[in-house]
Amino acid sequence: MRTSRKSFSNARKTRLSFRNYLPHMVLAAILMAVPLFIAAATNGIIKGTVTDGYNNLPVFGASIQIEGTSLGAKTDANGKFVITNISPGTYNLSVSCVRYDPIKVLDIDVISDSMSIIDLTLNRSDIDACNKVKDEKPVVTHLQIAPNEAGKTEMETRSKKGSDENFKVASMPFQSGRVQPCIIAVPHQTPPPPPYYPPPAHGGSAVVNGQAYDAMFFQNYGVNPFVDTEDDHLSTFAADVDDASYVLTRSYLERGELPPVDAIRVEEFVNHFKYHYTSPAQGPFAVYIEGAPSQSGRNSELLRIGIKGMEVRRSERQPANLTFVIDCSGSMNREDRLELVKRSLTYLVDQLKHNDRVGIVMYNTSAAVVLESTPAEYRNLILDAIYRLYANGSTNAEAGLRLGFQMAARHLDEEGTNRVILCSDGVANVGNTDSETLLAEIKRYGKMGITLSTVGVGMGNYNDVLLEQLADKGNGKYAYVDDLAEARRIFVENLTGNLQVIARDVKIQVDFNPAVVRSWRLVGYENRDVADDKFRDNREDGGEVGAGHEVTALYELKLHDHRPSGDIGTVHVRYKDSDTFRAAEFSRTISKRDFAGRYTSASTSFRLAAVASEFAEMLKKSYWAKGTSPADLREEIDALSEEGWSSEMGELRDLIDRANRLWEDRAEQ
C-alpha cells in the first residue's frame, strides 16, 4: 500500500505541534501537583512507643489503629510505631496485642505539619482476664496532646472503665492481610450439639458407639492382680511423675461425661497430688514409707512408698536448650488446641532465664523451622514466632520430631538441659504414624542427653497413646493441658522441676519378705512394668525425675495370719546421674513400725493418696474397687478436709460428686 506525500506532511506537522506544546504540558502538570504536595505536607503524624507495664520492655507487634479510618501501624522490635499522612482533626486510637489488655486512646489532636508523640503502656492479661466474658469493656484512656516545636508532648491522662463500643482485640498477623482474634478461654466449655465441629474423623454426622467425643485413642493396660510371694517376691517398675490421665478425666467430668475406662491410669491420679515429702538433706532422693490397714474391705494392708527429689532454686537451675515441636495441622485449628498452646508457651517463655534457648519447629503436611534456637533474652522475637503460627494441612509428626531433634542436637548444651517439647493432639496421619517407628531415633538422641516431653491438648480426635508412649520412651514428662490454669501449673509453678533433671532411668524394685507377706498387688503402673532381672541392667529404660518431683506408689499387702517377726521388705532405687550417666543405687527397709494400727491414724497425705487411687479404680471399673462406693470416698474427703483443707481436696471432692451423679443417672436409665 502506498502512502501519499500529503499524509507525511500532516504527520510532520503533528510532531512539530506536540514538540512546541510539550514544555507547557510539563509546566501545567507541575502546577497541578503542587496542591497535592502542599496537602501532603500539611497532614500530621502520630508516632510513639509501646512498652510492657510489667517489665518496661518494648512490646513487639502491638496493633495501633485510628478508628474510623484505614490508617494504622504495628510496633517494631523496639516497640516503636509511626502513622503518617493523617488529615488534621481529633482522633481515637485502638491499641491491642495478644497477651495484653486492650486500651483506647481518645481525643488525639492532629495538627497540620506537626508530629504527635505518645508513649503507651500495656498491662498483661492474667488468667482471670482471659476468662472474662467477651462484652467486658476495655480500659479507655483520654489524652490531650499538644505538640510543641521540639516535637515533645504534654499529656493529661485519666483512666476509667467503660465504653459503649464493642471492642475486638486483634493479635499479630500471621498471614498477609489476616489477623487472628484474641482467644477468650472459657475452661471446660460444653461441646456444641451435632453437627459436630470439627466433623467426626470417620466422615459421618455423629459420634459412634455412644462416645462423648470422636476418635479418642486410649489403650487398656489391664489391672495388676495379687501376686503370691512364693511365686514372685520382687516388684519392679519404672518411676513415673506424669498426671495426664487425671487431667483428662477432670476434663471429661467437668463437661458432664464419664471418661472411657481405658483413659484411667491409676498411678497418674496418685501422682497428681502433692504429699509434701521433705527434701533430702543430701543426695538426689529421700524415700518415705508409710502403711495402715486398707479401707477397701479386702482384709489387707495399704503401703505407700514415696520418693522425693532434691530441690533446686530457680536461680540455680541449669540453662535449658528447649526445642518446641508444634502441631499446626488442620485438627489443631481450634481455640482449645493451637490457641491454647500459644498461650501456654507464653507462660513458659515469661519464666525463662536469659541463658536459656528456644527453638521452634512446626509441622503439618511437612515440617519447617520457624525459629532457629534463640537466646531467651530475645523474648519478643520468640513470642512473635509463636503467635504467627496457624493451622492447616495434614499431620506429619515424624517429620516434625526429626527436625526438632536435629535442631536440639545442633545447639546441644553439655552443661545444661536439652529437651524437645512436642505440643499436639497426638493424631498423626502422614508419614510413619506408629510410635515404634520413632523409638530408635528417640533413643539415639536420648544417649546424647536430649529428652522428649509431650503436651497434649484437645477433646475429640486425640491420641493419648502416642503422646504417652513418646514421652515414656523419650525419658520425659507427658502432660495434658485443658485450660490456662493447668498451663500455669505446668509452665510456671512446676517449671524448675519440669526442666531440671536430677536423675535418669529411675527404677524401683521392692523385695517383699515371703515369711511376712503372703501376697502383694502394685496399684497402677501397669504400663511401667520392668522385668525383675532388668533392674540392674543399665541399658533398661526407667523414668526421668526432675528437681523437687515426687513419685508415689501404693501396694496392697496380705500378711500371714500368724504375723511372724521380721521386716516387710526392702525398697531399692536405681538411677543414673543426670550429668555423668553413671549408675547408682540405694535402699530403704520397710519395717512393721512404718504401719499405723488403724487407717484413721495414718497421715492426711497417706489417706489422700488412698482416696485418689480408689477413685481411679472405680472409674476404671477395677475388680478391686467393687467394695467401695462414692459415698465412702466422699465421707473420707470430708474427714480429710477437717484436718486441713486444700484446693486439691476440694477439686477431688467435686470430681467424685460429678462422677457419682453420672453413675446414678446411668443407673436410672
Q: Is residue 208 part of a domain?
A: no
Overall average pLDDT of the 473-485 stretch: 90
78 vs 102, which has greater pLDDT? 102
Reduced to 3 states (helix: H, G, I; strand: E, B; else coil), residue 287 is strand
Do 348 and 472 belong to one domain?
A: yes
What does the pLDDT read at residue 192?
36
Name, of 17-26, 262-271, 628-637, the range with top average pLDDT. Answer: 262-271
Q: Is residue 19 part of a domain?
A: no
Distance of CA 540 to the CA centre of its chain: 29
Do 306 and 372 belong to one domain?
A: no
**C-alpha–C-alpha distance, residues 669 and 664, integer Å:** 9
> Nearest 5°: phi and psi at 91?
-130, 160
Whether 4 has a pLDDT exceeding 90, the answer reads: no
Q: What DSSP assignment string belongs to 500-563?
A: -EEEEEEEEEEEE-TTTEEEEEEES-GGGB--GGGTT-TTS--EEEETT-EEEEEEEEEE-TT-
**pLDDT category of residue 27 using cuts at 50, 70 and 90:** very low
What does the pLDDT read at residue 200?
58
Q: For position 361, which CATH number holds?
A: 3.40.50.410
What does the pLDDT read at residue 272?
96
Residues facing 328 on adjacent strands: none
What does the pLDDT read at residue 201?
56
Order of all β-strands in the sheet with 227-228: 227-228, 517-523, 550-559, 301-309, 285-293
**C-alpha–C-alpha distance, residues 66 and 40, integer Å:** 18
Please count the other Cβ atoms lying within 10 Å of the Cβ belonging to residue 649. 19
Do 330 and 432 belong to one domain?
A: yes
Do 402 and 530 belong to one domain?
A: no
Do 459 and 508 belong to one domain?
A: no
**∠ Cα 427 432 436 (to 5°):** 90
Q: Could you tell me the sign of the dihedral formed by the alpha carbons of 423, 457, 390, 353, in that order?
A: negative
Whether 455 has a pLDDT exceeding 90, the answer reads: yes
Q: Is residue 17 part of a domain?
A: no
Q: Are 46 and 116 in contact (CB under 8 A)?
A: yes
What torsion do the CA atoms of 634, 637, 639, 640 make, to the nearest 10 degrees? 180
Domain finish residue from 154, 181, 208: 181
Do 96 and 226 belong to one domain?
A: no
What does the pLDDT read at residue 436?
67
Q: Is residue 593 part of a domain?
A: yes
Cis previous bond, 147, omega within 30: no
**pLDDT category of residue 437 using cuts at 50, 70 and 90:** low
Whether 668 has a pLDDT exceeding 60, the answer reads: yes
Do 537 and 647 belong to one domain?
A: yes
> How many CA atoms, within 13 angstroms, populate the side-chain half-sphere of residue 78?
6
**SS3 letters across 640-667:** HHHHCCCHHHHHHHHHHHHHHHHHHHHH
Q: For position 619, which CATH number holds?
A: 2.60.40.1230
What does the pLDDT read at residue 79?
80
Q: Is residue 361 part of a domain?
A: yes
Which range is least confidently modeled, 12-26, 373-387, 459-473?
A: 12-26
Number of domains in the chain: 3
> Nearest CA to 304 among 483, 568, 72, 90?
568
143 vs 319, which has greater pLDDT? 319
Which range is least confidently modeled, 101-115, 232-246, 282-296, 365-379?
A: 101-115
Residues facing 589 on adjacent strands: 570
Please count the other Cβ atoms lying within 10 Å of the Cβ belonging to residue 420. 28
> For helices 647-668 and 604-619, what crossing angle results, to 10°?
30
Do 322 and 242 belong to one domain?
A: no
What does the pLDDT read at residue 517?
96
Whether 407 has a pLDDT exceeding 50, the answer reads: yes
Overall average pLDDT of the 140-155 stretch: 35
All 3 cell numbers of residue 290? 508409710
Do 61 and 84 belong to one domain?
A: yes
What does the pLDDT read at residue 505?
92
Q: Is residue 322 part of a domain?
A: yes
Whether 240 has a pLDDT exceeding 80, the answer reads: yes
Strand pairing class (320-327; 357-363): parallel
What percent of the chain clears pLDDT 90, i.e. is strictly above it?
Answer: 47
Overall average pLDDT of the 504-530 stretch: 96
Do 524 and 664 belong to one domain?
A: yes
Do 144 and 232 belong to one domain?
A: no
Distance of CA 472 to the CA centre of its chain: 18
Q: Is residue 116 part of a domain?
A: yes
Which range is least confidently modeled, 284-293, 383-392, 433-442, 639-648?
A: 433-442
Domain finish residue from 451, 477, 499: 499
Q: Is residue 23 part of a domain?
A: no
- E-state strands within 239-300: 285-293
All 3 cell numbers of residue 562? 500368724
What does the pLDDT read at residue 72?
85
Whether 139 has a pLDDT exceeding 50, the answer reads: no
Whether 299 has a pLDDT exceeding 50, the answer reads: yes
Overall average pLDDT of the 45-49 stretch: 90
Domain finish residue from 451, 472, 499: 499
Whether 138 has a pLDDT exceeding 60, the answer reads: no
In tens, the pLDDT along 64-88 reads 989 988 788 888 767 888 898 899 9
Do 223 and 328 belong to one domain?
A: no
What does the pLDDT read at residue 177?
28
What does the pLDDT read at residue 213?
79
What does the pLDDT read at residue 205?
57
**C-alpha–C-alpha distance, residues 152 and 154, integer Å:** 7
In single-letter form, the type of residue at position 221 comes to Y
For residue 663, give its domain range.
216-312+502-668
What torsion do the CA atoms of 468, 473, 475, 476 make, to the nearest 10 degrees? -20
In tens, the pLDDT along 622-646 reads 999 887 888 889 999 988 988 876 7
Whether 618 has a pLDDT exceeding 90, the answer reads: yes
